[in-house]
Structure 1
């Protein structure tokens, strides 16, 4: 089990009319130094991670885990246009920043972290992917705490970005950067007086509908005040109404890391409650989490 010690995030709806919100001033204010030649994805990572770390003590060996479906999509589009549309060699900084783990370098530098630094992409289940990795490293003692973030930036031309995600072109879109500081259950540092904000009791990948139903039957035994969330446009392999559980649907527009925003808002809003999140993938598997607050 994983205790959630701290939260921090950034979220904003996006549309073609207003363009993407400016981030540089906020990033410069919260970061210890002014970083040059960074793209929007790196800015989002810096902003969310710094907000999560503001009120806690981070050990230098804290593991850093970043998940994203598309990572630096705006910068990648720019580089591809330079190469294939204009026949130009891309600018070095733009080319380097297409590497997804560049963001991990800047977050670690800003927070003075020297531990594990991992980027992973598992489509819309990237939150579950980084939770799995962090849990394994915490359980085997490789790290004492884990800073995990799921980040997806908006992209220009809404219809194109919707097509990229395989969703209807008129879907209301957003971008987000959601961060959680985790420790093994019951192992808060001595100097911390507050209790954990929540406990993530389960993270799993279920191969088929039968496995999902068995997992749900087990998770729901003697559970009261339990809510459920699944990606509204990428549903898991079952009818949510069959469970008879209330749906938790905060006011968040659509983006691949939406589950991270949902979990964060549940922790902030609910008391003495449980949340089950479900995310189906193209292989027919379901990625699940169970969290108690």
Structure 2
């Protein structure tokens, strides 16, 4: 069991273009960051909100995850090379590595611990949480600042196809972070990633034993009909809906967990799918 000690949410739903974050970042942090891009600025904003006014131990590890990574820089470099036959700018070439964002977060918060970038084709947020969970349980890390960062993608129709969501899904962007360690004192909640992928029968068995008033939330990969079917089969559970509007992005589960911390007391089961199997994350904040 691992514990959440702080959470930070930065979540938006752009309509036409990515928002300019430079001014917001300067207002929030009092600093001007040069040689950064939208993805890096997103990462710093969310991490700053999670850290708050606390001074984190220097050895705090950073575990960063993303579904698509620094897609805007990747797109720009591809256009420069293929359409204009130009070499990429040096800063773009460096920032193309999405883990550059982890370097900037570490610099901003004065951290020099492990700095890890994790991704996964279907479950990036869950796999990053699983890596942190394992390292904290084994004593390899004492504290982990874990964040999920995803940019809004301008080519919406193509993005929806790549992400495997319905044509009507509203896309967004976010930078959502959790401060994790293995100590219960002053914790906000417990969180646990179930490491195995579940078949529909195993998921059904697990949900049938869910305590009364357990909250369920489903990723955007479930359509309304599927969600309604689950809720009819498990009437002892209730559907959780975050108060803050959000579009879909691949690290959205971290937004969901943080939103539950803000709004509710109780137990939450987050359910995601790759289309065939299921992965769940449980959170509880009613026993601390």
Number of paired residues? 278
Q: Paired residue for 1:240?
A: 230
The structural deviation recorded for 1:8 is 0.9
Other structure's SS at 2:239 match? coil
From 264, 277, 291, the equivalent of 2:283 is 291
Kindly report the root-mean-square deviation, in angstroms, between the aligned alpha carbons of the 2 structures: 2.0
Task: Report the CA distance between 1:179 and its aligned residue.
Answer: 0.5
Alpha-carbon offset, residue 233 of structure 1:
2.5
Q: Partners in 2 of 1:135 and 1:57 — Cα distance?
A: 22
Q: Which residue of structure 2 aligns with residue 12 of structure 1?
A: 12
CA distance in 2, matches of 1:88, 1:168: 36
Structure 1 position 168, deviation (Å)? 3.3
Counterparts in 2 of 1:273-292, with a 5 A limit? 273-281=266-274, 284-292=276-284
* Superposition deviation, residue 224 in structure 1: 2.9
Aligned counterpart, 2:201: 210
Q: Match of 1:183?
A: 181
Contact preservation (8 Å) 1:66, 1:149: yes
* Alignment match, 2:2: 2
Deviation (angstroms), 1:84 = 1.2
Q: What do the CA deviations read for 1:95-154 (whole angstroms, capped 9, x no partner)?
A: 211111111111111111111111111245222111111111111111111100111111
Instruction: Say yes or no: does 1:197 pair with 2:185.
Output: no
Name the CA shift for 1:234/1:37 in 2 (closer, same or farther; >3 Å).
farther
Aligned residue number for residue 258 of structure 1: 252
TM-score for both structures, normalised by structure 1:
0.88
Residue 204 of structure 1 aligns to a residue whose secondary structure is coil
Q: 1:57 aligns with which of 55, 58, 66?
A: 55
- Larger displacement relative to structure 2 (26-35 or 225-234): 26-35
Quote the offset at 1:160 in angstroms.
2.7
Contact 1:147 1:179 in 2 (8 A): yes
CA–CA distance in 1 between the matches of 2:193 and 2:250? 21
Change over 3 Å in CA distance of 1:92–1:202 after alignment to 2: closer
Equivalent in the alignment of 1:227? 215
Moved over 4 A (4+): none
Cα drift, residue 32 of structure 1: 6.5
Corresponding residue of 1:47: 45
**Gap regions ≥5 residues in structure 1:** 189-194
Q: Is the 8 A contact 1:153 1:175 kept in 2?
A: yes
Contact 1:69 1:123 in 2 (8 A): yes
Q: Distance in 2 between matches of 1:257 and 1:143?
A: 22
State how far apart, in whole Å, the 2-side matches of 1:118 and 1:134 are: 10
